[in-house]
């Protein structure tokens, strides 16, 4: 464990004016509070807060943050309280410690709904004081460095949480070194075999090619000396996880990867950055499409640098980053550079961003997003890389990597996105699914009356576009549900001898506690309400009468006393549909739906036709209907479909698969229903399910009598 004087020395290296006595008091207080507590490794627990504080000294953070690190577990794990911390170390430290405690208590790997709400809390904490997140990230980094002492299940949970949340968050904040280390530590837990394999291949590569990094570093320095540019040159191999991810994304074997080495050139000023770029491109061939100028177009977290990839020694591709010393400080510390100290004063780095403005930009549109979409949008924001495109007027639009013209349209305005029908990129008409590149000029073509398409959800990549499209589709679905509900209400009211007037529906809404008649119809159409519930809300006595089930053996009217009947299996008519009977010698009457194609063969035999209709009232759920479904081939999908049908009070009497593909299944489900209204409810519920690609009623002429 680092001694208190050694910790103070680390702080004094960048802040000679540090309040050493306050750090000593915090160190002593934390050690006393955690006395007797041990880590899984057998070390005393206080070694962890001290290690977290040491990590934060590498970012040259202020005294309050260092003290918060020493005390960050006291409120949660000891008898210490907020009031105790405030009394001993002041309100600022108490607020920070309390913020870290609240973040620690968030279960970020719980259910999606809970996780979404916890993410909101996490970003609320960030908006109050970003130093809370800096302490939490350092806390997670040390815990991942010592994760081997945890059980396998705990290791896997923490590693997944780190890979999904903390690593991309560190990267989004500009702390790329921390992101890479967190990813690699999590990778070691989640896929140790793959990581070990990459390391072994690296060792083999070094034996075959020698030490590539020192050779290329020497080559770059020699070129800079020729033109008398002073700069520091550093080289390194990329982290195992970064290499593995690239192998997965590009589906390449290790031997085919080229740019596994990276070099960084740090110079005095911006002019030298561009001179160095010229030197590099004159000496080595630039790789097309691999140039990014984050100096003229900085990232939102303040990151500035020039990135280029060239074919270096022996044709090997290497990535080169060029930046000034001040840019490098921000690149290393990210948003944390705002609090960095040097010689006892806050560093006035012109490239450091105001954390409050950064969080505001990051979350500015999240209030528009529904609870269900928040988590997805947050992850999209954290993982994105950037491209910069231009409007026809020359305004810059910043988008994540992989963005399309639809994303561009929504970035300008939701109204533009909704009415988008096409796009021109650099003057040429392109499909809406085209992936935009840096520096392209994009013109959006709109048309009045255009509405977002459901397929756009899979095309766009920005959270804003996804949220706006989903909101529009929900509104469109609501209109459809209202129309369907109106028809279902009309039929239900007619069954009890009443009319579904606006006044009657308003009365039902008031009784059911709903805002208006349209909400009643929408819920009726989406199967959230049944027609019986609406009838009961206004005419409870009539609903009771209608509830008496009609005997299935006497459900058809129009037959003579000596005639028996059965349903035709080719069209499977159900109560509520128009029907006709066809007589068969020795078989009685077979009942067909009026639109059954099988009736065509009886057009010349009118004597065999019998005019029939269903008795009005409540029928028993005994009328089998075949539904043909195309569903996603995924874990639990079929179970959800069956549950969905069961929730509509329908029984599945048979199920058979027609086709099995890697991504989709086609199957026929036999469902026992009451009437056509029941059928509509089932179809609507299935159509609304995202994993159902297609659902239709199956009519099989091979099953005709």
* Active-site residue list: 76-77
Nearest to 190 by CA among 161, 149, 170: 161
Nearest to 232 by CA among 266, 277, 196: 266
The helices-and-strands tally (H runs, E runs) of the chain is 29, 24
Q: Nearest 5 degrees, angle CA 570-CA 696-CA 583?
A: 15
- In total, the chain counts a number of residues equal to 705
What is the Cα–Cα distance from 610 to 617, expressed in whole angstroms? 22
Nearest to 350 by CA among 324, 376, 314: 324
The enclosing H or E element of 189 equals: helix 176-190
**CB atoms closer than 10 angstroms to residue 1:** 15
Which residues make Cβ contacts (< 8 Å) with residue 210, sequence separation at least 6? none
The b/e string for 470-508 (b: 16+ C-beta within 10 A; e otherwise) is: bbbbeeebbeebbebbbebbebbbebbeeebeeebbebb
| Residue tagged 């029908």 (tokens) | 421
What is the Cα–Cα distance from 398 to 130, expressed in whole angstroms? 24
What is the Cα–Cα distance from 575 to 615, expressed in whole angstroms? 8
Label residue 289 left, alpha or beta by phi (over 0 means left) and psi (-120 to 50 means alpha): left
What is the Cα–Cα distance from 321 to 628, expressed in whole angstroms? 56
Structure tokens at 567: 């349903």
Structure tokens at 506: 């308003």
What is the Cα–Cα distance from 587 to 590, expressed in whole angstroms? 8
What is the Cα–Cα distance from 329 to 266, expressed in whole angstroms? 10
Cα of 551 vs its chain's centroid, Å: 51
Cα of 335 vs its chain's centroid, Å: 24
Q: What is the DSSP letter of 38?
A: B
- Angle of helix 112-128 relative to helix 371-383, nearest 10 degrees, comes to 60
What is the Cα–Cα distance from 300 to 358, expressed in whole angstroms? 7
What is the Cα–Cα distance from 390 to 235, expressed in whole angstroms? 34
Structure tokens at 461: 């990549």
Answer for the pair 320, 309: CB distance below 8 angstroms, yes or no: yes
| Residue tagged 């006709």 (tokens) | 580
Q: What are 676-679's contacts with CB under 8 Å, separation 24+?
A: 676/491, 676/574, 676/575, 676/576, 676/577, 677/488, 677/491, 677/492, 677/531, 677/576, 678/574, 678/621, 678/648, 678/649, 678/650, 679/574, 679/625
């Amino acid at each position: 464990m680092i001694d208190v004087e050694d910790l103070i020395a680390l702080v004094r290296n960048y802040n000679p004016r540090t309040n050493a006595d306050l750090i000593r008091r915090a160190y002593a207080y934390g050690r006393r509070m955690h006395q007797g507590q041990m880590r899984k490794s057998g070390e005393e627990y206080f070694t962890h807060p001290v290690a977290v504080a040491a990590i934060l000294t590498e970012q040259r953070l202020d005294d309050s943050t260092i003290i918060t690190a020493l005390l960050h577990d006291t409120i949660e794990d000891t008898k210490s309280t907020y009031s105790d911390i405030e009394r001993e170390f002041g309100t600022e430290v108490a607020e920070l410690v309390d913020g870290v405690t609240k973040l620690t208590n968030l279960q970020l790997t719980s259910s999606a709904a809970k996780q979404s709400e916890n993410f909101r809390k996490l970003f609320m904490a960030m908006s109050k004081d970003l130093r809370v997140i800096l302490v939490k990230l350092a806390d997670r980094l040390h815990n991942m460095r010592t994760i081997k002492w945890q059980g396998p299940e705990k290791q896997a949970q923490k590693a997944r949480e780190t890979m999904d949340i903390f690593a991309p968050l560190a990267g989004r904040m500009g702390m790329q070194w921390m992101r890479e280390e967190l990813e690699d530590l999590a990778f070691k837990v989640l896929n140790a075999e793959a990581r070990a394999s990459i390391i072994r291949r690296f060792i083999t590569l070094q034996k075959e090619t020698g030490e590539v990094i020192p050779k290329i570093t020497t080559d770059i320095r020699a070129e800079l000396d020729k033109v008398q540019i002073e700069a520091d040159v550093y080289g390194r191999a990329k982290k195992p996880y970064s290499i593995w991810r690239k192998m997965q994304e590009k589906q390449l074997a290790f031997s085919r990867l080229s740019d596994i080495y990276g070099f960084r050139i740090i110079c005095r000023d911006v002019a030298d950055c561009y001179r160095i770029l010229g030197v590099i491109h004159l000496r080595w061939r630039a790789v097309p499409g691999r140039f990014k100028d984050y100096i003229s177009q900085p990232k939102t977290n303040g990151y500035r640098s020039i990135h280029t990839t060239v074919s270096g020694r022996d044709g090997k591709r290497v990535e080169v980053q060029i930046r000034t010393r001040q840019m490098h400080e921000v690149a290393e510390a990210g948003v944390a550079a705002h609090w960095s100290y040097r010689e006892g004063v806050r560093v006035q780095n012109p490239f450091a961003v105001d954390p409050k403005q950064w969080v505001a930009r990051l979350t500015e549109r999240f209030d528009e997003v529904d609870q269900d979409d928040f988590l997805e949008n947050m992850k999209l924001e954290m993982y994105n890389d950037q491209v910069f495109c231009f409007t026809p007027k020359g305004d810059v639009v910043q988008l994540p990597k992989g963005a399309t013209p639809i994303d561009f349209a929504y970035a300008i305005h939701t109204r533009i996105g909704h009415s988008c029908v096409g796009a021109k990129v650099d003057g040429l008409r392109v499909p809406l699914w085209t992936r935009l590149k840096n520096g392209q000029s994009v013109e959006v073509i709109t048309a009045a009356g255009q509405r977002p398409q459901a397929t756009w959800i899979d095309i766009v990549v920005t959270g804003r576009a996804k949220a706006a499209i989903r909101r529009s589709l929900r509104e469109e679905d609501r209109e459809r549900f209202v129309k369907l509900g109106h028809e279902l209400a009309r039929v239900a009211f007619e069954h009890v001898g009443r009319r579904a007037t606006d006044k009657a529906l308003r009365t039902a809404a008031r009784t059911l506690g709903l805002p208006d008649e349209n909400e009643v119809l929408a819920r009726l159409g989406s199967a959230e309400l049944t027609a019986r519930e609406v009838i009961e809300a206004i005419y409870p006595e009539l609903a009771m009468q209608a509830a008496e089930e009609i005997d299935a053996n006497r459900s058809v009217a129009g037959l003579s006393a000596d005639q028996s009947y059965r349903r035709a299996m080719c069209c499977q008519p159900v109560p509520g549909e128009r029907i006709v009977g066809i007589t068969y010698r020795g078989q009685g009457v077979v009942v067909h739906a009026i639109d059954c194609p099988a009736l065509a063969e009886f057009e010349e035999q009118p004597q065999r036709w019998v005019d029939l209709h269903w008795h009005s009232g409540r029928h028993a759920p005994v009328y089998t209907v075949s539904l043909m479904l195309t569903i996603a081939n995924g874990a639990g999908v079929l179970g959800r479909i069956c549950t969905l049908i069961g929730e509509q009070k329908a029984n599945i009497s048979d199920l058979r698969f027609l086709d099995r593909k890697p991504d989709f299944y086609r199957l026929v489900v036999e469902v026992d229903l009451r009437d056509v209204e029941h059928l509509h409810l089932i179809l609507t519920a299935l159509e609304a399910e995202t994993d159902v690609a297609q659902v239709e009623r199956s009519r099989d002429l091979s099953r005709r009598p």
